[in-house]
Amino acid sequence: MTIEKKNPDTLAPPIGRYKHLAVIPAGSDILCLAGQVGVDREGRLPASVEEQLENALKNIERVLASEGLDASAVFKINIWLATEIDMDRYVAAWRAFHDDEPPATTFAYVARLIQPQYLCEIEAWAARTPP
């Protein structure tokens, strides 16, 4: 069984690289990942929002790997940025993360995150589907 990610034909297509709907198979384990900020594995925080976004996505991949999963298990993701991002770099990092099978997604700019040096935070929901 797999997570079904789709765009129903009853509404307009998405305005970006995401799906409107994710359907989780019955009997799946649901994993709620805490918001990941842009620190790297050693706890260093780069200055740019682009690097912080890349680190946050890598952190999500590390959390998923700790459970034997990869990014294909993510069915919902929320991305918050506290400053504008270079959209070309965003698109490249985002596509690399979801390998052209994007989850249901929310992307928002916010005034600031918990501490002003954090420019990006990403929360993810994943499912471990039954065999």
pTM for this entry: 0.93
User: What residues make up the domain containing 21?
Assistant: 4-128
**CATH number of the domain encompassing residue 70:** 3.30.1330.40
Number of domains in the chain: 1
Return mean pLDDT, the chain.
Answer: 96
pLDDT in tens, 41-93: 999 999 999 999 999 999 999 999 999 999 999 999 999 999 999 999 999 99
Task: Of 19, 8, 36, 124, give the one whose Cα is nearest residue 73.
Answer: 124
pLDDT number for residue 61: 98
pLDDT number for residue 17: 86
How far apart, in Å, are the Cα atoms of 79 and each of 1, 16, 42, 105?
A: 27, 13, 22, 8
Distance CA 3, CA 126 (A): 9
CB 100 within 8 A of CB 35: no
Beta strands in the chain (DSSP E): 4-6, 21-23, 29-37, 74-81, 104-109, 120-128
